[in-house]
A = this chain, B = another copy of it.
Amino acid sequence: MTYPAPVTNERIRVGVLGAKGRMGSEVCHAVEGAHDTELVAALDDGDALSALVDAGAQVAVDFTHPGAVLGNVEFCVRNGIAAVVGTSGFDESRFETVRGWLAEAPGAAVLVAPNFGVGAVLSMQFARQAARFFDSVEIIELHHAGKVDAPSGTAARTASLVAQARAEAGAGPVPDATTTALDGARGADVDGIHVHSVRMPGLVAHQEVVLGTDGEVLTIRHDSMNRTSFMPGVLLAVREVRSRPGLTIGLEPLLGL
């Protein structure tokens, strides 16, 4: 991530919930390493949330679990701590609950994102924006051989976004002249978009969105090499969440797309 040097020496005071977990420990490391953030609390199962207040945390980052996250968010909202949430399990009813708490706490801010990979989010948005200018689009996602689901969640979501953009532009089905095919050759159908899943030792997490019109092809490829690739997105959220009162869903609004 490329940022200007901070204009003051004041660092953002950050607490991490789920600090011993796989993602949480990476967040602690990233918060300690950045020039403009400071780790003031690292809590995990059994630790009292009041430690956040005692430590003067301005932002809390939550990578815990679906059973714990709502209580954590409520605590933050009621105590004037902005919350950045990467824990899964949110649906519309949970968002409504959070909005209810926020309505009673003007200025409080919560950001919930299903994916903190800046590159992945940009890929999805670019694919969505480009979709209506091309006759067709297909998605190829490539992951390590240990992945159990196909296609990946990101690929399925990208396909849905692309399909929706095409529908809004009045586009019909993608062209496909196939009359003779082996089962599966043309991939999975996600909202009318063909999605292909490659599984291979040596790969990590990769996705290509291929868009074509007669005479030209646009390819948006994202390669994620390891989970540190999520940290720039987490730090971006930490830096920006307090300037966005209320509930923000997804990293997209912070990317200025």
Contact = CB atoms under 8 A, between A and B. Distances in A.
B214 A140 contact: no
A245 interface: no
A53 interface: no
A2 B167 CA distance: 10
Contacts of A4: 169-171
Copies in the complex: 4
A47 interface: no
Interface residues of A, number: 89
A125 to B, nearest CB: 9
Contact of A1 (B135, B183, B217): B135
A227 B200 contact: no
Contact of A184 (B136, B138, B188): B188
A118 interface: yes
11 contacts: A4-B169, A119-B134, A122-B129, A133-B236, A134-B202, A135-B201, A148-B180, A150-B181, A151-B185, A184-B184, A225-B225
A229 B210 contact: no
A200 B138 contact: yes
